[in-house]
């Protein structure tokens, strides 16, 4: 079963560099759900930053929905 984990990156368009990424710790059952949350959380992140800092460094949020494979153990056979 594949789940998706959301990772946010704060980037400066001045320096063309991004931070190492913040793993949100939330798992999504589909890429669609992860992408919607990525846009929402990106907007919230910018809104919570200091407006002058965002302007000065031309900050933006990039995000990634990274697939992770969940291995579900098979039930043990009865003896």
Domain extents for the chain?
A: 2-69
pLDDT of residue 26: 85
Size of the chain in residues: 79
pTM here?
Answer: 0.79
Per-position DSSP letters for 3-55, written without gaps between them? EEEEEEEEEETTTTEE-S-EEEEEEESSHHHHHHHHHHHHHHHHHHS-HHHHH
- pLDDT of amino acid 17: 93
Backbone angles phi, psi at 74, to 5 degrees: -75, 145
Integer CA distances (angstroms), 43 to 49, 67, 70, 75, in order: 10, 22, 29, 43
pLDDT at 58: 96
Predicted pLDDT at 1 = 78
Quote the pLDDT of residue 45.
94
- Grouped pLDDT means (10 residues each) for the chain, 79 residues: 92 92 89 96 95 96 91 76
């Amino acid at each position: 079963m594949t789940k998706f984990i959301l990772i946010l990156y704060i980037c400066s368009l001045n320096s063309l560099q991004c931070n190492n990424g913040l793993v949100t710790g939330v798992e999504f059952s589909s890429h669609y759900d992860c992408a919607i949350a990525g846009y929402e959380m990106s907007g919230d992140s910018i809104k919570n930053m200091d407006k002058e800092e965002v302007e000065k460094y031309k900050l933006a949020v990039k995000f990634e929905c990274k697939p992770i494979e969940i291995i579900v153990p098979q039930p043990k056979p009865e003896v």
